[in-house]
Structure 1
């Protein structure tokens, strides 16, 4: 039996590497400038201390050195900012905890201080000195279509790739490793191209195929599989930091992001030329505007690359410059292999990129409108982009709008009649003698009618058609908006009794006016108390999807509503069970009227309660009597209102059935603007305005004025034949995807701090072929996979291991562990559980219900048996399985996965329910192969490892099953068999052979 892995995982929230120049300039220098150097700088040095250079800090002031390298607790500056004793700095207020942590970590790392520089030092120069010097760096040089070198061993090379590699090996006296066996090769190629294992039948068929084109046909079959796009789409999603949430402090969902994810997968499957692939992601909406209508949606969706940028802070509209920085950083590293965002605060310290370059690109993004995902103070999304062309949408929506206009015109006519009838009905107002009671309640208050001193409610004379009206009006701040009401009217000398809650609660929407329980019609009226308004016209069932919450309203307010549930209902506040409420308009009252069906005297009881404290004030209320028989006028008003309610119902139905444009989480053109430099990266400190343009070192072309944001031009510059970086960076990524490490070992840093290529001529030759092949990614796969280099075994002789321990010369193949998605998908396949259908949107809660906050962020995961690329990805909380096995961090571009081997990974194989479930299903498939142990073991190994068990495997398995059976002696035979084979399946699925690719 292959030995098990001992694996683990440690979840670490890593602090920035504050020993680095980039983090110093981003975090430390601005803090010292803003909070310390006003008193301890060049203009003023209180206590003889300056904090504007490393030398000055280590020298210190009157009380000694301000910092001790590597020892923050012994550093006076730390003691002062932590305000431990009489040293209390800054004198006005204490630094925030995160600021103190920044300075502590910086000193702990040695208090490194890069050479001085700032965003204003070169603003008058047309081209910086760094840009001029950077032209000599290898990655900025034009591509050279090198001639493949001559080699001594002419038998080994299968193509030009092999000649470049073999020449290097021969120069060091080395030879390539032997060719891998066919099972190893098909498993390697299948995982590399699809992220899935081959089936045992596919392995057997390939092993028997002796045709000269067997390898080529296999590669073509794999490239034609939909699984190819899912595998290589996942590589791309790593780079663009794909996520299904926004990343701000409440981590709002972005329900439409999945369209971009699926577009990426589809683009790889269609082999969209890489230059077009890039252009669409930067300016697809602009490209689509001039193209055929059937391509319009694709162009919109592709700009999800920009839209899925991280959002920051509490109110993300206030920190949009950080989102632009995230885009520039991701775009630079992904497409160019350059850390452009390092120039946000100052000219790049090492690469030929100036702060002017950064803000020239920032202006392009500031001229672009990004979809808004929502945030805590503004919970609903906005600015999502329709996927249909405007002209086509106008044709689609026209019949709907015409129908709405007809209903609205009729509603307006009836509303005018209601207004006239209401003015006649309620003309003259109410005399003081007819006010039965009045009062007010403060914010959070409650009062029974008649409780006010001297305000006892006397019995009231009524006749048929008399209205008693309870009105609730806002006070100065419209504070107690949701107001609970109880109203009971009883015949003074008779059996009649009317209770508002009992009469209307269970069927509030039956009508307005509403009947009572005694069979009288048109007794209860729900009224807009503002002049000329009349009965509330619009019924809404289950407002916001809340079962039991029913409303009569006019617009949003005023309204009368009920919680008909037997339990408390948490909505904008907590509504008590089985209660009726009113909500006045900001500019006038709402009323509940009772129209008497009897003649005599009635008593009035009830209560009014603020149901939503925090206003900050309450409401006023009054109960008045509208004398006389008003039944004829009320009947006319009821007829008009019934017609108005019916029209409102038809309008709501029409709106519910309205065509809805499909929306994409994408970008669109905004208002053209050029960005000022933010001095030291601070958006509150504006420097000179920089016109939008391309990087100086790559040409510096300007965005034409009046031609839009500049994204169309930017897309062209990124993939221009004169840009030597685009092709180099992408072919290096493809090479890395097959050999585990790129020809440039720092795949997203081709600048002066990155590693130079191990085979520069090969890199340029591949980049040149890439362009000549029409930027075809699939053609590059074929070229690499059909090379002799890709066929090598992963073993090397002792001489090769000594001279080239890191395998930089590619004289053997590198063994690797499967990545997180490959492990999970392979487990699903072994268990027969994988759902191969493409994923779609995630089942996020309705947007109308969103109330996510910093303390209650979105954090749901959704189970699925689809491939792992379709798992929901949250920015502020890692998907547990992918986090455990080193999945990509969706908060930043991930050019290469880590590969950890830590104890919690071993615990996964011991305890995780998902793993146990798949192992149990694999065992079930093996048991179903037949009654004999041999047949079952054959099936288990073929399903899990795509090979037959060897003699040693059979012996180990037999001993394992015997020991396990002895432990299960008391179990029913079928259950004992199931448990023993499940345990054996777990051992196989946790083995190195399953988890590693040779």
Structure 2
């Protein structure tokens, strides 16, 4: 841990009374008079602080500002403060150079060791990060796999895990706890893997199954259940700080965010390799463009809170905050490292230079959130489209055959029958068209005399009724004739954006639409171009056979399926600009452009970064490169990723992790209690293709897991924190599991999976499908310590409060489940009802004493004017309020 130690201030002469007196007489007055205006705490408060340098305290002058330490005790020639006063760097103070005698006093003071009585703070020099030492730290070094150790009590061993644990138990003179009772084991493993209690039928089946493989088969059944993904998906959503709104004062909704939750559940149920699971969450949209599942996975990056309003002034700071949220979540959630702590300075404890922080967020420079419309089931659409194409093909064939075999002769015959010339129409200049729902008022002018007909053309015109209000051509009403243009032709070839009026002076003008000369011209043009399909579209106006063929084709085309579109809230690669190194993390103080890179301590050499930026024939995007680096167990951060994840699995099965700070594998976190076991499990995860279910089965099959919670007197004295796992302590269920258990025992739980969630706290859906709105969290879940989804949560708080008891006793939701449970266990004999209720609620039969007490309570309630049904409801609610209901032994 060499790299993590804070470096003590370099040895310097101790302050003496002479030196202190010199400071007070000669130095402090100069600083006050000439420096404090720009370099003091008061200047900071007034927003006048320059260069980040504080000269009004001992710590401030030693630590220095943006340019580094202001002085080197004992070496005035090397001290920035003396150089600045002498004008060797920038001129300080800026109003004018100090007198030579004052500068000489400052230099002498520095040479004396800069004795400074202003405060007694411990002096901390800026860290020099030793990356080589950092690479030897337990969590950052490569995996070191050892053979499971020998133990004395080999009969206790069920898996290699047990050897690592038992060797430590034996070394401390402890003994494993007795095995857990079979029915309690069923309840423990069922809750651990599915988050729901076992049903009475499942209890009966397991208790009567005496075959050696009864428990392994139970594990396989639970891991294969869809409920497994819902249970462990909720654990992961804590890590991802998942919510379906933006937070802050506006807390705008994110309607498509639920797709990320659905991705997590589906991926876990399918036992997707964990490295792929991570890669998709970092760069799924770029690894598999257009794929809804992969795109949804990137909701991980943008799940954090984001302000609902931005201004030109706040846009850049918010952008850097957004990038910080992403990399901080990647750090704590995936790597167990507080990467965000290097935003403003070198990491205080871990080997993460500030430069590495900005290189890491540079991989995310173009990343932003988006609301994208996508097909939720492309394969289903492809199948529907293929079926349509098959059904539509005969109509296309019929059209093509007609155009090839019949159309040429029909067109030739029709052209031969047309007169040499045809009466023509003159289109009026439209002066005014005022459309109404059923009325068109038309005003036009013409110089023609002897008007005999009016023609109206326009899109969707089907009514030929005219009311002539002014026709100053003759004293008689004008005759009106109309044959509207067929919609198919007009829309296909000559769409009109306005109504047109044409008039004619011919005695018998042609009223065929769109007009014989126009048809002749259009058809001739398309025949010359050998465009038979275009010819057919025009010819259908005058030929019933052509129209029949095309009408059938059009009717079939109306059945063509369109891909359904759903909104997905996910990450996208936008047009974000460069990421700059920021002095003290302040956007106004840029210090060069940061290029995409990785944490040096998790690479063999800095040059190795090219491995992920030049992967394969085509250079991947920076975000893809980041995903490849994090999951590369041989050269990148994959070994740390594996350690962190197996620790999370252990934590949720045993209550605490092998590393008891699951989001901090750095120097400030706890060291592993069993480092060899941690590395062995991480190696097993990688060697097994990153499959999580395999590790689950190893853990819950171990003799360690099968222990009861009985604590021996020796263990209580020598291992009170249970660091060495000589027993498995009882655990309280999480908020969602408590609520789901209520629904399960009441028989009202809705098994529907996926889709849009709900804010209705009385909903019967599993709690993982309740909408997480940051400013409107479900009260019951809050009471039992559900997180606020502001940042990655590796381990929830577990509290015991009166609010929890009141919620269970007074909640209408709990009362409703008690009513439903009472109906399920209704019997003529109270003893039978009590036994059935215990099986549903607690997973076991009541003892004789419990049966007597509970039946006695029911009878007393009946005697107190309660009906038998109401008394049974009261009993069931009491049972739901006992501590055992919300606890796993």
TM-score (norm 2): 0.67
Q: Distance in 2 between matches of 1:112 and 1:834?
A: 60
Tell me the SS of whatever aligns to 2:284.
Answer: helix
2:52, 2:703 → 1: CA distance? 67
Aligned partner (choices 724, 744, 750) of residue 829 of structure 1 = 744
Are 1:823 and 1:995, in contact at CA under 8 Å, matched by a contact in 2?
yes
Output the CA distance in 1 between the equivalents of 2:374 and 2:132.
41
Q: What's 1:53 paired with?
A: 60
Is residue 513 from structure 1 mapped to residue 513 from structure 2 by the alignment? no
2-side partners of 1:598 and 1:349: how far apart?
Answer: 90
Aligned-partner SS, 1:238: helix
Query: Any residues of structure 2 matched to 1:159-174 within 5 Å, and which?
Result: 159-174=159-174
**Aligned pairs (5 A) from 1:800-839:** 800-839=715-754
Answer yes or no: is the 8 Å Cα contact 2:255–2:567 preserved in 1: no
CA distance in 2, matches of 1:33, 1:300: 50
CA drift of 1:674 comes to 4.5
Question: CA 1:184 to 1:53, structure 2 compared with 1: closer, same or farther past 3 Å?
Answer: same
- For the structure 1 residues 131 and 33, does the alpha-carbon distance in structure 2 shift closer, same or farther, using more than 3 Å as the test? farther
2:692 is the counterpart of 1:780:
no
Q: Distance in 2 between matches of 1:785 and 1:880?
A: 33
Tell me which residue corresponds to 1:698.
602
Q: Distance in 1 between matches of 2:560 and 2:62?
A: 70
Alpha-carbon spacing, 1:341–1:524, altered in 2? closer, same or farther (3 Å): farther
Describe how 1:19-34 pairs up with structure 2 within 5 A: none
- Structure with more contact order per residue of length (Cα contacts < 8 Å, sep ≥ 6): 1
Task: Note the 1:609-688 alignment, pairs <5 A.
Answer: 659-671=563-575, 674-688=578-592
> Which 5+ residue runs of structure 1 have no aligned equivalent?
1-20, 22-29, 58-109, 122-127, 373-381, 400-419, 427-466, 470-511, 516-520, 526-534, 540-594, 600-627, 844-859, 970-975
Provide the C-alpha distance between the structure 2 equivalents of 1:39 and 1:311, rounded to a whole number of angstroms. 30
Greater Cα radius of gyration, structure 1 or 2: 2
> Which whole-Å deviations, capped at 9, do the CAs of 1:278-297 have from their partners, x for residues lacking one?
112112233325xxx9xx33
Gap change, CA 1:340 and 1:920, over 3 Å in 2: same
Of residues 849, 863, 868, the one that matches 1:966 is 863
Relative to structure 1, is the Cα distance of residues 268 and 357 closer, same or farther in structure 2, using a 3 angstrom cutoff?
Answer: same
* Per-residue CA distance 1:813-832 (angstroms, 9 max, x = gap): 11011111111111001111
**Alignment correspondent of 1:213:** 213
The answer to whether structure 1 residue 890 and structure 2 residue 789 are counterparts is yes
The equivalent position to 1:905 in structure 2, one of 804, 816, 819, is 804
Cα deviation code 1:243-296 (max 9, x no counterpart): 11122432222222222211111111111111111112112233325xxx9xx3
CA distance in 1, matches of 2:479, 2:322: 61
- With over 3 angstroms needed to count, the CA separation of the structure-2 counterparts of 1:388 and 1:683, relative to structure 1, is farther
| Contact map agreement 2:372 2:567 (CA 8 A) in 1 | no
Relative to 1, partners in 2 of residues 1:771 and 1:968: Cα closer, same or farther, differing over 3 Å?
same
Q: Matched residues in 2 for 1:920 and 1:537: separation?
A: 65
Cα distance in 2 between the residues matched to 1:146 and 1:206: 37
CA 842–167 in structure 1, closer or farther in 2 if over 3 Å, else same? closer
Residue 36 of structure 1 corresponds to 45
Query: Map of 1:232-631 to 2, 5 A cutoff?
Result: 232-289=232-289, 296-312=291-307, 314-315=309-310, 319-368=318-367, 370-372=368-370, 382=371, 424-426=430-432, 512-514=435-437
Residues 809 and 881, structure 2, Cα contact 8 Å, conserved in 1: no
1:743·1:757 contact (CA, 8 Å) conserved in 2?
A: yes
Alignment correspondent of 1:134: 134
- Structure 1: how far apart are the matches of 2:352 and 2:496? 63
Q: What CA distance in whole angstroms lies between the structure 1 residues aligned with 2:238 and 2:339?
A: 19
Q: Is the 8 A contact 1:312 1:323 kept in 2?
A: no
> For 2:253 and 2:271, how far apart are their aligned partners in 1?
30
Tell which deviates more after alignment, 232-241 or 739-748.
232-241
Residue in structure 2 matched with residue 853 of structure 1 by the alignment: none
Whether contact under 8 Å (1:361, 1:692) holds in the other structure is: yes
Maintained 8 Å contact 1:32/1:51: no
> Aligned pair in 2 of structure 1 residues 55, 354: CA closer, same or farther (>3 Å)?
closer
Residues in 2 aligned to 1:198 and 1:536: alpha-carbon distance in whole angstroms: 71
Give TM-score scaled by structure 1 length: 0.60
Q: SS of 1:371's equivalent? A: strand
1:719 maps to what in 2?
631
> CA 1:331–1:633 in 2, change beyond 3 Å: closer, same or farther?
farther
CA distance in 2, matches of 1:386, 1:249: 33
Tell me by how many angstroms 1:421 deviates.
Answer: 8.2
Task: Tell me which moved more, 250-259 or 332-341.
Answer: 250-259
Aligned to 2:674: 759
Partner in structure 2 of residue 981 of structure 1: 872
Cα distance in 2 for residues equivalent to 1:762 and 1:202: 33
Which residue of the partner structure matches residue 147 of structure 2? Answer: 147
- CA shift, 1:537, in A, is 9.8
Match of 1:877 in 2: 776
Note closer, same or farther for the CA distance 1:981–1:660 as it changes in structure 2 (3 Å cut).
closer
Where does the alignment leave 5 or more consecutive residues of structure 2 unmatched? 1-5, 7-38, 65-118, 390-425, 444-456, 499-553
Matching of residue 178 in structure 1 with residue 185 in structure 2: no
Structure-1 separation of matches of 2:277 and 2:771: 24
Secondary structure of the residue aligned to 2:592 is: strand
Secondary structure in structure 2 of the residue aligned to 1:664? strand
Distance 2:385 2:570 in 1: 22
Q: Distance in 1 between matches of 2:801 and 2:245?
A: 28
* Cα distance per residue 1:339-360 (max 9 Å; x no partner): 1111111211111112211111
Distance 1:219 1:784 in 2: 11
| Separation of aligned partners in 2, 1:114 and 1:656 | 76
Q: Distance in 1 between matches of 2:597 and 2:42?
A: 30
Higher normalized helix content (fraction of residues): 2
For 2:837 and 2:600, locate their aligned partners in 1 and report how far apart those are by CA, in whole Å.
Answer: 60
Kindly provide the CA deviation profile for residues 515-534 of structure 1, in whole angstroms up to 9, marking residues without a partner as x: 6xxxxx65899xxxxxxxxx
Distance in structure 1 (CA, Å) of the matches to 2:144 and 2:202: 41
| C-alpha spacing 1:977/1:802, structure 2 compared with 1 (3 Å) | same
Deviation at 1:208, TM superposition (A): 2.4
CA shift in 2, pair 1:983/1:167, >3 Å: same
Q: Deviations over 1:863-890 (max 9, x none)?
A: 5211111111112332222111111321
**Contact kept in structure 1, 2:58 and 2:121, CA below 8 Å:** no
Which of 823, 845, 854 does residue 957 from structure 1 map onto?
Answer: 854
Change (3 A) 1:635 1:55: farther
Residues 906 and 421 of structure 1: is their aligned pair in 2 closer, same or farther, counting only changes over 3 Å? farther
306-315 vs 168-177, which moves further:
306-315
Shift of residue 371, structure 1, vs aligned partner: 2.9
The aligned residue for residue 506 of structure 2 is none
SS of the equivalent of 1:236 reads: helix
Note the C-alpha offset of 1:836: 1.2
The whole-number CA distance in structure 2 between the counterparts of 1:31 and 1:924 is: 73
User: Who is 2:643 aligned against?
Assistant: 728
Deviations 1:85-126 (A, max 9, x none): xxxxxxxxxxxxxxxxxxxxxxxxx99999475xxx9xxxxx
Asked if the contact 2:256/2:566 (under 8 Å) is kept, the reply is no
SS of the aligned residue for 2:593 comes to: strand
Q: CA deviation at 1:773?
A: 1.4
Determine the C-alpha separation between the residues in 2 that align with 1:665 and 1:632. Answer: 63
| TM-aligned CA deviation for residue 236 of structure 1 | 0.9
Size of the alignment, in residue pairs?
669
| Alpha-carbon distance in 2 for matches of 1:321, 1:898 | 29
**Residue matched to 1:84:** none
Deviation at 1:224, TM superposition (A): 0.8
Deviations 1:736-775 (A, max 9, x none): 0100000000011000000000011111111111111111
- CA-atom RMSD in angstroms: 4.5
Following TM superposition, by how much is the alpha carbon of 1:55 offset from its aligned partner in structure 2, in angstroms? 10
Which has the larger strand fraction?
A: 1
- d(CA) in 2 for partners of 1:40 and 1:819? 48
Contact 2:818 2:876 in 1 (8 A): yes
- Structure-2 separation of matches of 1:312 and 1:955: 59
